[in-house]
Structure 1
Amino acid sequence: MTRHPNRRHLIATAAALVAASALPAQAATWPNRPLKIVVGFPGGSSPDLMARLIAEPLAQALGQPVVVENRPGAGGNIGATAVARATDDHTIGLMINGNLTIAKILNPDATYDPLKELTPVSLLATAPLVLTAPLSAPADGAAFLAAARQAGDKWNYGSPGVGTVAHLGMEVLKSRAKLAPVHVPYPGNPQVITAMIGGQVQMALLPPGLAMAQVRGGKLRAIGVTSPGRSSVVPDVPSLSEAGVQNLQLEIWNAVAAPNSLPKAHVAKLSALLVDIVRRPEIREKILAQGWTVAGTNAEGLARRIQAETPVLADVIRRNQIKPGG
């Protein structure tokens, strides 16, 4: 039997190539050597998995190798700084909310300013967070929150760094549910998971893909998601609103950004190709399997998201008096 290529995929690819061909001549000959995707989190983290998922199809589209380089630490800001400082026209970054919004607001001494030194390329995918706990924790959401309330500051919670949405979101949850666990930052979520399994932390807000892999493996317990209702990404996990937490809506995202020094023609080429890649049915399915919903916006769409979210996250920082290293 003759197999026919997916027509929608071919049409989308053709459209991306037409868009790229309409760009200035300098974009047509770029890149002329391997492209580097810097990830500010360790291997196995959600941004790392996303970067490795798009690397191969992006390499095929560009005709050059695409290399993923992990530069973990400071909630992804070490990697983001490396991208902001890059001047080789062949370095981009896969980043999370905080790296592109409140890095300078959180820490005025930060070595880069995302709003001035990074150029949006594409918002790839979004997801709610899953409140996750050790297996010893109560399975019922209301019972778990009651136990956390009683434990007060004897419990800890982990996050992949100060200023990440997992950190800021937990501070919001603490105020809404009258909790008092102490924040313990880690280089990335894999270390948070290890600490939770080992009993060093009693809860964390994790991306769905990472959380549910541990839940299905019988190592952790999913308490609830941070969406107003149940999420299609993890439909079997109740919303935290079902446990009595009101007005909680938190979302994480993965996006690609570039240094301001990258010519606009190259940014436009990358944006068009990335939108095509993440919207391909086979890639969309893999992203969903990782616990994400495809966004697939162009550079302007990501810029709008940054503009809308920055003041919201900044308000959480100011109201909770969150400082670097705290």
Structure 2
Amino acid sequence: MTESTRSTLYRRSLMSLACAAALGCSVGAVQAEQWPSKPLHLIVGFPAGSSPDLTARALAEPLEKALGQTIIVENKVGAGGNIAAEAVAKATDGHTFSVMINGNMTIAKLLNPAVRYDPVKDLQPVSLIGVAPLVLAAPANAPEGKAFFAAGAAAGSKWSYGSPGVGTVGHLGMELLKSRSALRPEHVPYAGYPQVYQGLQGGDLQLSMLPPALAMQQIQAGKLRGIGVTSAARSPLAPGLPSLKELGVQNFDLEIWNAVAAPKAMPRAHVDKLAAAVSAIVRTPDMRAKLAVQGWQVVGSSPEGLSNRIQQDVKALGTIIREQGIRGQ
């Protein structure tokens, strides 16, 4: 084969690759325009009236208008949302997605190896919806700010903290705080947040991490003391409270969040279209107001933005889970 012939074949190969790439982009764009081609199935892992359910139903109506298809919301309750997450992970119809809380998309399998899906391998991030810090709360007569941390350091294991159970974000968040500060309280798991409130108000507990929607009413009524928020900066969901970083806790940034997830089987062009619609909808004034009532600060994100958040959480909380051998309920 002559040099001239090789050169000609090489140019033809480049042209073929360019045409294939262009065709691929064109096909992807057409597929995205044609999708969804039938009603969408929105699965929620918590009961009617729960925060994920309210978020999903608030999102469904404007999303129907944006995508031009009916959205059927179904509650698959159980295992802290993991039954629904497994159903989504295994869906192959290209029209199933979910509103999930952060645990279902990050540490579910780390907490319980028996969980039958892998959040990282089997789910596809779509868009972050909203975030909220936890509020470090204490009895109403507790000292404030840095004085609280000094008292806690002096008390050591004589202090106790409550959570709604082993493996919950209130439990893992406090263990993360213990690893980043001089606090050493003992964990007391309760059946739920109402019992944690009673423990704090009765003096059986000295501290706990609570969702702001639950904590702020008690704090503003003078029934609990708000020490700080777990986010990197102050939060509009907990007005007046400093971040734990302001109180001297280094490298601490923990938030609860909810998001839209899809199966790995859903084509990326469809994921991008769904993400763009969700991100735009949650940022509207109407949805901002609805989510604020539920205790969420709206974010909205690309799939990459949500993926980054997942990686951060898996790294921070996964380390605590592995080091202490924590197993969920």
Q: Determine if the TM-score, normalized by the shorter chain, exceeds 0.5.
A: yes
Task: Indicate if the aligned counterparts of 2:47 and 2:75 stay in contact, CA closer than 8 A.
Answer: no
Query: Structure 1 residues 225, 276: CA separation in 2 closer, same or farther (over 3 Å shift)?
Result: same
Cα distance change on mapping 1:82 and 1:132 into 2, 3 Å? farther
The answer to whether the Cα contact below 8 Å between 1:171 and 1:320 also exists between their aligned partners in 2 is no
Structure-1 separation of matches of 2:88 and 2:139: 36
Stretch of structure 1 that moved more, 209-218 or 102-111: 209-218
Q: State the match for 2:276 in structure 1.
A: 272
Change over 3 Å in CA distance of 1:210–1:295 after alignment to 2: same
- The answer on whether the counterparts of 1:149 and 1:180 sit within 8 Å (CA) in structure 2 is no
Deviations 1:241-270 (A, max 9, x none): 455544432222211111223343432221
Determine which of 291, 298, 321 is the counterpart of 1:287: 291
The amino acid of 2:215's aligned partner reads A
Partner of 1:198: 198
Distance 2:53 2:166 in 1: 16
Cα distance between partner residues in 2 of 1:178 and 1:215: 22
Q: 2:70 aligns with which of 64, 69, 80?
A: 64
RMSD (Å), alpha carbons: 3.3
Paired residue for 1:256, among 254, 260, 263?
260
| Equivalenced residues, count | 295
Q: Contact 1:87/1:261 (CA < 8 Å) preserved in 2? A: yes
Residues 23 and 269 of structure 1 are in contact (CA less than 8 Å); yes or no, is this contact kept in structure 2? no
Deviation at 1:212, TM superposition (A): 2.2
Counterpart residue number, 1:131 = 136
1:180 is aligned to 2:185: yes
Q: Structure 1 unaligned segments of length 5 or more: list them.
A: 1-21
Asked if the contact 2:166–2:327 (Cα under 8 Å) also holds between the matched residues in 1, the reply is no
**Are the aligned partners of 1:48 and 1:70 in contact in 2 as well (CA < 8 Å)?**
no
Taking only the aligned residue pairs, the percentage that are identical comes to 48
Name the residue aligned to 2:12.
Answer: none
Whether 1:298 aligns to 2:271 is no
Cα pair 2:170 2:209 within 8 Å, conserved? yes
User: Where does residue 108 of structure 2 map in the other structure?
Assistant: 103
Contact 1:46-1:207 within 8 A present in 2 as well: no
Contact 1:123 1:298 in 2 (8 A): yes
Normalising by structure 2, we get a TM-score of: 0.74
8 Å CA contact retained: 1:27, 1:265: no
Distance 1:178 1:133, change over 3 A: closer
Code of the residue aligned with 1:204 in structure 2: it is S
Give the 3 Å change call, closer, same or farther, for CA 300–142 of structure 1 in structure 2. closer
1:114 aligns with 2:119: yes
State the distance in 1 between where 2:220 and 2:53 align: 21
Which position in structure 1 is the counterpart of 2:320?
316
Larger Rg: 2
Corresponding residue of 2:44: 38
Residue 177 of structure 1 contacts residue 245 of structure 1 at CA under 8 Å; is this kept in 2?
Answer: no
Q: Structure 1, residues 72-125: CA drift from partner, whole Å, max 9, x if none?
A: 434x33332232233444432222333222323333332110111111111122
